[in-house]
């Protein structure tokens, strides 16, 4: 049992940070200084394994890491917080859709110290995609490199139905390959 009466303000702050119901991560020059339990849950890494690593470890591709960094640099110079949605990657390689909200604690040098909340948007794709729920599920499978058969098995539908969804997704978004789909969805939050 936790005895709150005996905890210092610093202990309470640390306890609240570690156990907050939102994923919270603190970065110094885009390296992970501290992460809470929800970050462990979302990304499948222990905070001990994450702390000290570049935030790049949570991005599926280097180009995503660079592109987001360029946006961050521009927006973090403003006094308000920054927010976007993007693909990120779990430890097991699964690519997930995440909402990121952050602010710099050092406006004179925006990357020196930042704090972020990261929320896994399990049932959402970007609004710009205008995909149905089923199409979003198929798109998530496509981005993660699954075959139509694997996607169909996971969704409880036939591979042929998955193929129909694949064609519709490609037509709606004007893409031909899963890599283009990922780029299109990532670009939607630019």
**Across residues 43-47, what is the average pLDDT?**
96
Determine the CATH number of domain 127-187: 1.10.10.10
CA distances from 121 to 20, 118, 127, 131, 185 (A): 17, 9, 12, 15, 14
Q: Supply the pLDDT for residue 124.
A: 55
* Residue pLDDT, tens place only, 74-98: 777 777 788 887 788 999 988 888 8
Q: Supply the pLDDT for residue 187.
A: 53
Cβ atoms < 10 Å from Cβ of 3: 6
Determine the CATH number of domain 4-120: 3.30.450.20
Domain ranges of the chain: 4-120, 127-187
pLDDT(129) > 70: no
Q: Which of 4-8, 15-19, 68-72, 122-126 has the lowest mean pLDDT?
A: 122-126
């Amino acid at each position: 049992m936790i005895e709150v009466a005996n905890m210092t303000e610093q202990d309470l702050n640390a306890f609240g940070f570690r156990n907050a119901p939102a994923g919270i991560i603190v970065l110094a020059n885009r390296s992970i200084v501290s992460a809470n339990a929800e970050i462990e849950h979302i990304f499948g890494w222990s905070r001990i394994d994450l702390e000290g690593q570049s935030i790049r470890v949570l991005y599926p591709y280097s180009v995503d890491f660079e592109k987001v960094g360029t946006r961050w640099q521009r927006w973090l110079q403003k006094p308000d917080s920054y927010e976007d949605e993007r693909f990120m990657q779990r430890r097991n390689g699964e690519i997930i859709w995440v909402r990121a909200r952050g602010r710099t604690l050092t406006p004179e040098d925006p990357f020196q110290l930042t704090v972020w909340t990261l929320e896994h948007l399990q049932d959402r794709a970007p609004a710009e995609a205008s995909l149905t729920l089923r199409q979003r599920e198929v798109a998530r499978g496509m981005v993660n490199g699954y075959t139509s058969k694997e996607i169909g098995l996971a969704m409880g539908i036939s591979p042929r139905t998955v193929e129909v969804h694949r064609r519709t997704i490609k037509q709606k978004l004007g893409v031909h390959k899963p890599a283009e789909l990922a780029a299109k969805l990532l670009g939607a939050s630019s």
